[in-house]
Amino acid sequence: MIAESDLPYLKRCVELAREALDAGDEPFGSVLVSAQGEILFEDRNRVAGGDHTRHPEFEIARWAATHLSPADRAATTVYTSGEHCPMCAAAHGWVGLGRIVYVSSSRQLIGWLNEMKAGLPPVRALPIQDIVPTVPVAGPVPGLAEEVRALHERRHAQRGRSA
Ligand code: ZN
């Protein structure tokens, strides 16, 4: 379930996704929030340099492993513009982070990519629950998900032009 209090963080994720797209990366952004509601860490996709593991959710897991106790990690919420890929879901689980709230689902993303006749990712888009079944997960968020879709459409249009 998504609460009114989740919305500012989700909007920040979409903003970070837009920043990533503007910088030539893929439109994804994520924030790590403490039990008290403080943003502890945030990042955006940074794959344009050629390292396709530079996902924000992966960076969040690494940051949390270095900076937070296991109890603090479990009390966090990770907000993200797009549902975690299997790599990031696994990192989330191994590090022991808490709830996940995503704006748009992997299923939506694959549907959009198919509609745009864009290439599919090399890693299968499994639901988070298939990778880390005990993590509470909420999403997608109607309305905001359409903003994410528009970013992916812009990304695809840009790639079409440069191809
Ligand atoms: Zn990922």
- 111-158 pLDDT, tens per residue? 999 999 998 899 999 999 999 999 999 999 999 999 999 999 999 998
Domain boundaries, the chain: 4-162
- Between the CA of 117 and the centroid of ligand 1 the distance, in Å, is 21
- Between the CA of 130 and the centroid of ligand 1 the distance, in Å, is 14
Nearest Cα to Cα of residue 102 among 19, 31, 35: 31
- Between the CA of 71 and the centroid of ligand 1 the distance, in Å, is 24
8 Å CB contact between 107 and 127: yes
- DSSP code of residue 76: -
> pLDDT at residue 10 above 70?
yes
**Domain boundaries 4-162, corresponding CATH code:** 3.40.140.10
Q: Express each pLDDT in 37-58 by its tens digit.
A: 999 999 999 999 999 999 999 9
**Reading across the β-sheet that carries 39-44, which strands appear in turn?**
39-44, 29-33, 77-82, 99-104, 137-138
